[in-house]
Structure 1
């Protein structure tokens, strides 16, 4: 299920339907990493880790490319004042920010009970990491916007 809020009926599941659930049971080594030793806490930590891994593999390369492109644009701006390139860079900023905000929303959906201290800590760290990426990308956009003020 891609949509956690979807009803079973919307997925075509009704009376007499058979549902197969697949997963892995965390082993003792995985449970030691949690505060409570609870499989539920381990599942929350895994969900948080998957969100961050997805961001690292998908968005970090895009952020680095955006930073490189913006740097190249800014260093060549005096010789080539290209509003189209700048507009594309701003659009790229919006795309990256939208994806980072979606990651923040997915982390916001991870509700950790108070006794799941490790999961709560991992969630806080993940939110702080994503907010740092947002600040990083916004900083590049600010440089782009201020570059036109200086010319």
Structure 2
């Protein structure tokens, strides 16, 4: 369940927090994403002013649409086309890893160190994960959402590689590799 926030031409989807969450929590998430310091939030034509009021006070529920309006003293910093391209590249790389490598990796890890899979299967997966990390490392987002998304993607792929390396080390210790 999510809430949509309209910001200029963008449509942002945020997870709906519990009903007793103060409006300030949504406002803070939007501040972090947009890098705006001051803005107005509008829901069903009303400006949301009391940050301490729970979101239920404003009847914000799943599917609600909020409008984010920067104030005159704050210029919006919408993602540039270069950042959008980086976001697409990062998402594509992570989706490729998840769809093509993770299922095979999960099979090998589930089988444990006693798997009958040849050592080359483990090494091939390790090499492919490492190549993915290197491709992400070649991207250089300076600021914004692309930098954060790249960081999270690297962390996820590195965790997969670490799990594989632990299994390989255990297999070597058991004399299976």
TM-score (norm 2): 0.53
- Partners in 1 of 2:110 and 2:138 — Cα distance? 33
Superposed, 1:65-76 pairs within 5 Å as 65-73=107-115
Cα separation, partners in 2 of 1:66 and 1:39, compared to 1, 3 Å: same
- Are the counterparts in 2 of residues 34 and 119 from structure 1 also a CA contact under 8 Å? no
The residue aligned with 1:46 is 88
Q: How many residues align?
A: 107
- Partners in 1 of 2:109 and 2:34 — Cα distance? 37
Superposed, 1:14-93 pairs within 5 Å as 28-29=10-11, 36-37=77-78, 38-73=80-115, 85=116, 88=118, 90-93=119-122
Q: 1:106-151 deviations in whole A, cap 9, x for unaligned?
A: 10121112xx3211111111111111111000111112111239xx
Select which of 130, 133, 138 maps to 2:160: 133
RMSD: 2.3
Structure 1: which 5+ runs fail to align? 1-26, 74-84
Cα separation, partners in 2 of 1:34 and 1:132, compared to 1, 3 Å: farther
Structure ranking higher in strand proportion: 2
Please state whether the residue corresponding to 1:111 is helix, strand or coil: coil
Please state whether the residue corresponding to 1:68 is helix, strand or coil: helix
The residue aligned with 2:126 is 97
Structure 2: which 5+ runs fail to align? 1-8, 13-29, 36-76
Q: Does 1:122 align with 2:104?
A: no
Q: 1:6-37 deviations in whole A, cap 9, x for unaligned?
A: xxxxxxxxxxxxxxxxxxxxx6227x967631
Q: 1:24-68 deviations in whole A, cap 9, x for unaligned?
A: xxx6227x9676312221221111011000000000011012123
The residue aligned with 1:146 is 173
- Partners in 2 of 1:107 and 1:131 — Cα distance? 11
Show structure 1 runs of 4+ deviating over 6 A: none
